[in-house]
């Protein structure tokens, strides 16, 4: 099941306030499920003879952090390739810009993670 970022956001919000799910149902992977019940650790829904159960977990945070680290490592590898290919001013400017972008990404990720931890 492919779950969209908007669907994830709705579910995360529903752990704090499930009222929207009670009225509109649970949308996951483009499928709509009837809201059955929820508490601080799970949300359950039903569609015909099948159902869905979403459990709250810190593993998602860890996976997000791992994906970000992999992305940053790839960017660092690109910087090293650019630096090793040519030592002219143009490449230096590109690598400086990339480093600035990486720092901006790092700051944004840090703020996102802080917000995530505040909510949990």
Q: What are the boundaries of each domain within the chain?
A: 5-55, 59-119
Structure tokens at 51: 């159902």
How much is the pLDDT for 33? 95
DSSP 72-108: HHHHHHHHHHHHHH--SHHHHHHHHHHHHHHHHHHHH
pTM score, whole prediction: 0.50
Structure confidence by residue, pLDDT tens digits, 35-71 = 999 988 899 999 998 889 888 876 666 666 666 777 7
User: Mean pLDDT for the chain?
Assistant: 79
| Architecture per CATH, 5-55 | 2-Layer Sandwich (3.30)
What burial class does residue 64 get, using C-beta atoms within 10 Å of its C-beta: 0-12 exposed, 13-18 middle, 19+ buried?
middle
């Amino acid at each position: 099941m492919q779950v969209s970022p908007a669907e994830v956001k709705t579910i995360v919000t529903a752990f704090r306030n499930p009222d929207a799910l009670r009225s509109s149902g649970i949308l996951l992977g483009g499928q709509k499920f009837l809201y059955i019940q929820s508490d601080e650790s799970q949300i359950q829904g039903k569609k015909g003879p099948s159902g869905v159960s979403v459990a709250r977990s810190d593993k998602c945070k860890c996976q997000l952090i791992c994906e970000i680290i992999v992305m940053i490592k790839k960017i660092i590898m690109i910087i090293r390739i650019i630096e090793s290919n040519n030592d002219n001013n143009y490449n230096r400017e590109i690598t400086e810009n990339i480093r600035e972008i990486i720092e901006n990404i790092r700051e944004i990720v840090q703020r996102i993670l802080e917000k995530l931890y505040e909510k949990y």
